[in-house]
Structure 1
Amino acid sequence: MIEKIYSTLETFDEIKLHNGLNILLADITKKSTDKDTRNGLGKTTFVEIIHFLFGGSCTNNSVFKLPIFKNHFFIMDYVLDDTKFTVKRRGFDSNYVYVCCEKGSKYDSFFGEQERKMKVADWNEFLGESLFNLDNKDSRINENIKFRTLFPYFARKAADGGFLESSRYYKNQKVFPTQIALTYLLGLDTKLSIDQKNLEEKKKEIADLKKVLKTDAYQEIVNEGINLDTEITILEEKANNLKRELESFQVHPKYKEIEVEASSYAKQISDLSNKNFIDRQIITELKEASKNEENISDINIKDLYEEVKVKLPDALVKTFSDSKIFHERLISNRKNYLSSELNKYEKLVKEREGLIKNLSIEQSKRMEVLNTHGALEQYSLLQTELNELVNRIITYKNQQKLIISIREEEANLKIAEQKLIIEITKSLEEHTKTKQKAILLVEEASKSLYNSAAQLNIGQTKTGRYDIEMVSRNQGSTGINSMLIYCFDMMMIQMSTYLGRKMDVLIHDSALYDPVDERQIAEALRFGKEKSLEKEFQYIITLNSDDLPESVAIEVKNNILSKVLTDSDESGSLLGVYY
C-alpha cells in the first residue's frame, strides 16, 4: 500500500493515502470561467509519479527531466509485508532509485541499514519478485515477463492507450506478449503461452526463409527445371576429374622459357630447311649445266667461226686454231666455275643438314619437357576452374539443405502446433477452478454496474492459442468499453490476492470515467470502496469534481484525499507551478 507521495520540490504538497478507496479530486473554483481547464492540474501527472517511483521509464521528454524538476526527488512511502519503504527518484540520475526500509525487517539483508542507491533495473527485479512472485532464476519466465510488463495493468495510462481495450495497456501491444502477461496474472500455464510465442517466431523464420527461395538471386542459381540432386552429382564428377588432373600435373619452373626455346629451334630448322630447298634447286641446275658443257663439239665451234666471219667481215678475226684454243679455254673455265659452284652449294646444304640435326635434337629435348610438364598459368587455370566448380557444388548443396530444412521444420512445427493445442486444452481443464474464479469476479463486478452483465472469456482461438477477452452485448458503446476495463481490472487486483501475490494497488485515471454515465460511476465507486476494504487492496482514482455523482458523494466523502487540485492558480495544481 502507498502511504504517502511527496517531494523535495517546495511547491509540491504531500499526498497522504490510506487503505481502500482513495479519490484525488480536481475541483472547479468560483473564480474559474468556462475557458478554465482542469486538464493541466496534475491528475495524469500523479499517475506518472507513481509509475516513476515504481521503476517506469524516464525519457528525455519526461516531465521529470525538465530543468525546473530534474534535481528534485519525488518520494513514496510504501508498505510491503508490514515494512515501510521510502523510495526516492529524480530526473537528474533517473537510472537510479534511492531506497531504505525500516530496520528489523526481513529486507534488511537486501537493502542494509542505510539508504541504498540502486539501479532501476534492480529495483524492478525486486518489485517483480516481491509483488508478483516472479522467479528471476527461471530463464524462460525472466526473458518474457518483467515487473514493468505486469504493473501497467494496475496503473493504466491514457496517453499509452491504456483505456482502449481491457486486455492491453498499450495501444500497439502485440498479441503474444499480451497473452503471456495475462496468463501469468490469471494463474494459467504461462509456459504454454511462451511456447506459443516461440512457435510463432519459428513460423516467421520459416516464412522468411521461404521468401529467400523466391528471390532473383536464388532463381539465378536454381533455374526452373534443374534437379539439385542431378546437378550436384554431375558437378561432383567433373570436380573429381579435375582433382585427378591437378594431382598428376607437373609444373616446370622454366616452362615458358623452354617453350620459347623450342619455338625458336623450330623456326631455325624451318629457315634452314627452306634455304636447303633453294640451294638443292641450284645444285640440280648446276649439274645440268656441267653436263651440257661436255657435249660441245669442234664442228660446232667451226660453224660458229665461219658464221662470225660472214656476219663480221670487217672484224679482226683470229685464225681458226686461235679461236679453237680460246674456245677450249672458255669451256674449261666454264667447267671449273660450275664445279666450284656445285661444290660450294653442296657444302652449304651439308652444313645446314648437320645444323638441322643438332637443332632437332635440342628441340626434341625441350618438347619432351613440354609434353611431360605444364606451365604455372595452366595449373592456375585448372585450379580456378576446380574452385568455381566446388563453389557451385557448395551453393547447390546449401540450397538443397535449406529446402530440406524448411520442409522438415514445417512438418515439425505442424506437429508441435497440434501438440501445443492439445496441451493448452488440457491445461485449461486443469486450471478450471482458477479460470472460474476470474470469470465470477468479472461477473460480480459487472452485475453491480449493468443489468446485462459483461463477461470474461478464457479459452482458445480457432488456431489454438490462448484467448482471453472481455465481451458485452453493448460493446460498441464507449462507456461500456470503459466499464469492461473497470470490471477486468477489479478482477485482476482480486486475482492477485487469490494467487497469493502481494500486488495490492489499483490506480485509475479520470480518463476511464470520462465517457461513463453518472449512475454507473456511482456504482463503480461503491463497488470499488466495498471490495478494496473487503479484499484489502488500495484503489486510487483521479476524478473531476463535476463527475462525482451526488448520489454517492456522501458515501465517499471520507475517501476524498485532503489534497484537492484546483484551477484557482498554479498553487492549486499538483506540482504547485505551471510549466
Structure 2
Amino acid sequence: MLKRLSADDPRFKTVTLTGGLNLVVADITDNSTDTDSRNSAGKSSLIELVHFLLGARADTKAVAMNKALRNTTFRLDMDWPGVESLSVTRRGSHPKTVRIDPDVTGADSDRLFSSEGPAELGVDEWNRLIERDLFGLRGEHSGVSGRTMLSFLARRDSAHGFNEPVRTFARQAEADATTNLAYLLGLDWQLADGYRQLAARQATRTQLSKAVNDPVWGRIVGSTADLRGQITLAQAQVDRLRAQIADFQIVPQYEHVKNQADEIARAIKQLAQDDVIDRNNLEELHKAVTETADVETDYLESVYRELGIILNDQVRRRFEDVQTFHHSVVRNRRRFLDDEITELTQRLETRRTERARLGEEQAHLLRTLNEGGALEALTALQQALAREQATLEALRHRYEAAQTLEASSRQITTKRLELEQAVATDLNERAQQTAEATLLFSRYAQRLYGEGREAYLAIDAGRNSLKILPRIHSDDSRGIGNMVMFCFDLTLAVLAHRHGRAPDFLIHDSHLFDGVDDRQLSAALTLAAEVAHEERMQYIATLNTDDLGKAARRGFDPEPHIRARLTDALETGGLFGFRF
C-alpha cells in the first residue's frame, strides 16, 4: 500500500494514506472559476507524482520537471515485500536517479529483512526492482512491463488513459496492452505476446517491401533468383581459395630460392648469347680454312721458257726457297685455324653441358617455388579467403532477407492462424481464470446497475491480438462507459493482487467520474470501499466536492475516507502550496 506522499518543500500538502478507501477532494468555492478547483488544485498532479516516484519517464511535460518544482525532492512511503516500509525519493533536477531506503536491491521477496541503509539506483534498475517485488516478474519477460501494468492500476489523464478500458495511453498497440492484461488476469501472457511479435514481423515486412520497390534500396536486398546465382559463384571462389590454402607449402627462405632461380636464368641467357657469338666465329674459321691453300707455281717455268728466258739454277733455287716459305706459312695458318676451331668447339660443348646442368637446377628451384611459397603469400591467400567468405555471408544474409520477404506474407498468415488456435485452446484450458474474471466483473457491474443488467468480459483469440472486451449492456453513454472502466480496473486489481501478480492499490483520477450520475457514483464509491476492505487493498480516488456531494445525497458518507482537501480558491490551497 501507499502510505504517504510528501516533499521537502514545507508548502507541499503532505497526503497520508491508509488501507481501504482514500479520497483526495478538491473543494469548489463560490469564488472558484471553472478552471480553478477542478483543474488546478493538484488532484491529477498527485497521480503524476506517484508515477514519477514509481519510475515513470521524466520528460519535459512531467509535473516534477516543471521549472518551479525541479529542485523539490518528492518522497513516497509505501509497503514493500520483506520490509516494514520503504521510502522512495526523486527530484526533477536529477531525474535519472532514485533513492530508496532501506536498500532492497539485493533482497528477495521471501526474505524477512533487507540490507540496512539507503541506496541510489538508476530508474531502469528501480523499474526492474518494481517488476521483481511488486509484480513477481523474474528473468526474461519480453512483452510485459511493470510500467504498463502500473498505468492500468493508476491511469493518467495526461496520457489519455481514460479513453478506453484496454489501453493506458493513446495509440497504444492492442497487442502490447492485452499482453500485460493477460498477465494481470492470469492468462498465458507469453502466448498473447506472440501477437506483438507477429506485428513486429509484419511491420518489418512492410518496410522491406517498400525498400525493395525503391530503385536504390532495392539493390541492397535483391531477388532470390539473382542472389542464388551470386552465392553459387561466391561459393566456388571460396572453395578454390580453400583448396589453394590446403595445398600450400611454405618454402623456407623463399626469397633466396627465388633469387637463385633468377640468377640461373640470367646465366643460361648469357650462355646462349655466348654460343651465338662463338658459332658465328666458328663459321668464319671454317670459311677461312677452306680459303687457305698452297699457290700453284708449276706454270711459271714453262711461261718463262716460252718467253725465251731460261731460269738458271740460282734463280730456280731462290724460287724454290720462296715456295718452301709460302708452304710453311700456309701450314702454320691452317694449324692456327684448326686450333681455334677446336677451342671454339670445346667452348660450345662446355656451355652445352653447363646449360644442361643449370637447366636441371633451375627446374628444381622452379618446382620448389611452384609447389609452395612464402609466408606472406599464404597470409595474402588467407586474407583473400576471409574477404570472399565475408562477401558470401553477406550474400546469404541478403538471400535470407529476400527469401523471408517473399515468403513472409504466407508465413505470417500461417503463424497468425496457428497462434489464434493456440490462444483459443489455452483459453479453453484456463476456463477457471476467465470465469473468475467474468463473474467478478459482472458482480461489480450489477452492484452499480442492478442484477438485471447484463455485464461480462468477452475474452477471445483475435486475429491481431488477444481480445479482452468489458461490456455492460447500456445505451453507450459516457457515464456508463466510465463505469465499465471502473469495474474493469477493479476486477484487474483484485484478481492480480489475489494471485500475487500485482501490488495492492488502485488509483482513479476524478476524470473517471465525469458524467456519471448520482446513483452510480454513490454505488461505485461504496463498492470500492467494500472491495478494498474485503480484499485488504487500497483504493485511492481524487474527486471534486460537487461530485462528492452528489454521492453523499445518495447515501454515501465520504467523511471517514477523506485524506486530503485541496482548493484553488487560495494561493496556498493546492497540492504544492503555491501557484506556478
| Normalised TM-score (structure 2) | 0.71
Q: 1:157 to 1:333 in 2, by over 3 A?
A: farther
Q: Which letter does structure 2 place at the counterpart of 1:294? A: E
What is the alpha-carbon root mean square deviation over aligned residues? 5.6
Q: Pairwise mapping of residues 338-417 of structure 1 onto structure 2 (< 5 A)?
A: 340-374=332-366, 376=369, 379-380=372-373
Instruction: Give deviations 1:412-458, integer Å, cap 9, x for gaps.
Output: 99998777655433321122232133234444555646999675321
- The secondary structure found in structure 2 opposite 1:429 is helix
| Candidates 521, 529, 536, aligned match of 2:525 | 529
Return the offset for 1:371: 1.4
Matching of residue 259 in structure 1 with residue 251 in structure 2: no
Q: Pairwise mapping of residues 176-575 of structure 1 onto structure 2 (< 5 A)?
A: 176-193=175-192, 216=219, 223=226, 226=229, 236=239, 240=243, 243-244=246-247, 246=248, 254-291=256-293, 293-294=295-296, 297-298=299-300, 340-374=332-366, 376=369, 379-380=372-373, 421-444=420-443, 448=448, 456-462=457-463, 466-470=466-470, 482-496=482-496, 499=499, 503-513=503-513, 516-517=514-515, 520-536=516-532, 537-544=537-544, 550=550, 555-556=555-556, 558=558, 561=562, 563-575=564-576
Matching of residue 95 in structure 1 with residue 91 in structure 2: no
Return the offset for 1:467: 2.5
> Do the aligned partners of 2:420 and 2:463 also contact (CA within 8 Å) in 1?
no
> Do the aligned partners of 1:77 and 1:85 also contact (CA within 8 Å) in 2?
yes
Q: Which letter does structure 1 place at the counterpart of 2:98? A: N
State the distance in 2 between where 1:140 and 1:130 align: 15
Q: 1:550 to 1:275 in 2, by over 3 A?
A: closer
> Do the aligned partners of 2:88 and 2:98 also contact (CA within 8 Å) in 1?
no
- The secondary structure found in structure 1 opposite 2:162 is coil
State the distance in 1 between where 2:196 and 2:567 align: 47
State the distance in 2 between where 1:371 and 1:522 align: 111
State the distance in 2 between where 1:110 and 1:60 align: 38
Return the offset for 1:181: 1.6
Return the offset for 1:535: 1.1
Deviates more, 1:223-232 or 1:528-537: 223-232
State the distance in 1 between where 2:302 and 2:190 align: 136
Return the offset for 1:211: 12
Q: Which letter does structure 2 place at the counterpart of 1:168? A: R
Number of the residue aligned with 2:157: 158
State the distance in 1 between where 2:27 and 2:227 align: 75
> Do the aligned partners of 2:102 and 2:118 also contact (CA within 8 Å) in 1?
yes
> Do the aligned partners of 1:249 and 1:379 also contact (CA within 8 Å) in 2?
yes
Deviates more, 1:157-166 or 1:538-547: 538-547
Q: 1:283 to 1:395 in 2, by over 3 A?
A: same
State the distance in 2 between where 1:265 and 1:79 align: 98
Gaps in structure 2 of 5+ consecutive residues: none
State the distance in 1 between where 2:200 and 2:250 align: 53
- The secondary structure found in structure 2 opposite 1:110 is coil
> Do the aligned partners of 2:22 and 2:539 also contact (CA within 8 Å) in 1?
yes
Instruction: Give deviations 1:544-572, integer Å, cap 9, x for gaps.
Output: 55666747656456258464333334312
Number of the residue aligned with 1:167: 166
State the distance in 2 between where 1:400 and 1:126 align: 42
Q: 1:79 to 1:343 in 2, by over 3 A?
A: closer
Aligned residues: 552
- Give the % identical residues: 20
- The secondary structure found in structure 2 opposite 1:572 is coil
Instruction: Give deviations 1:307-356, integer Å, cap 9, x for gaps.
Output: xxxxxxxxxxx999999999988877776666555444443333233233
Return the offset for 1:20: 5.0
> Do the aligned partners of 2:43 and 2:509 also contact (CA within 8 Å) in 1?
yes
Number of the residue aligned with 1:309: none
Gaps in structure 1 of 5+ consecutive residues: 307-317
Q: 1:270 to 1:192 in 2, by over 3 A?
A: closer
- The secondary structure found in structure 2 opposite 1:571 is coil
State the distance in 2 between where 1:220 and 1:262 align: 56
Q: Which letter does structure 2 place at the counterpart of 1:184? A: Y
Instruction: Give deviations 1:97-152, integer Å, cap 9, x for gaps.
Output: 23599xxxx9993247x7755757787667656654x164xx345x6645434222
Q: Which letter does structure 1 place at the counterpart of 2:518? A: A
Q: 1:467 to 1:347 in 2, by over 3 A?
A: farther
State the distance in 1 between where 2:429 and 2:460 align: 13
Return the offset for 1:63: 4.3
Q: 1:546 to 1:387 in 2, by over 3 A?
A: same
Instruction: Give deviations 1:130-185, integer Å, cap 9, x for gaps.
Output: 654x164xx345x6645434222110122334233322224454555433321121
Q: Which letter does structure 1 place at the counterpart of 2:567? A: T
State the distance in 2 between where 1:249 and 1:59 align: 68
Q: Which letter does structure 1 place at the counterpart of 2:508? A: H
> Do the aligned partners of 2:293 and 2:330 also contact (CA within 8 Å) in 1?
no
Q: Which letter does structure 1 place at the counterpart of 2:524? A: G
State the distance in 1 between where 2:245 and 2:47 align: 76
> Do the aligned partners of 1:75 and 1:86 also contact (CA within 8 Å) in 2?
no
State the distance in 1 between where 2:82 and 2:519 align: 31
Q: 1:249 to 1:535 in 2, by over 3 A?
A: same
Q: 1:578 to 1:336 in 2, by over 3 A?
A: farther
Q: Pairwise mapping of residues 28-177 of structure 1 onto structure 2 (< 5 A)?
A: 28-32=28-32, 39-58=39-58, 62-64=62-64, 69=69, 72-76=72-76, 78=78, 85=85, 87-91=87-91, 94-98=97-101, 109-111=112-114, 116-117=118-119, 119=121, 131-132=134-135, 134=136, 136=138, 139-141=139-141, 145=144, 147-171=146-170, 173-177=172-176
- The secondary structure found in structure 2 opposite 1:85 is strand
Return the offset for 1:525: 2.2
Instruction: Give deviations 1:58-103, integer Å, cap 9, x for gaps.
Output: 56875446676566553445468999736341327742123599xx
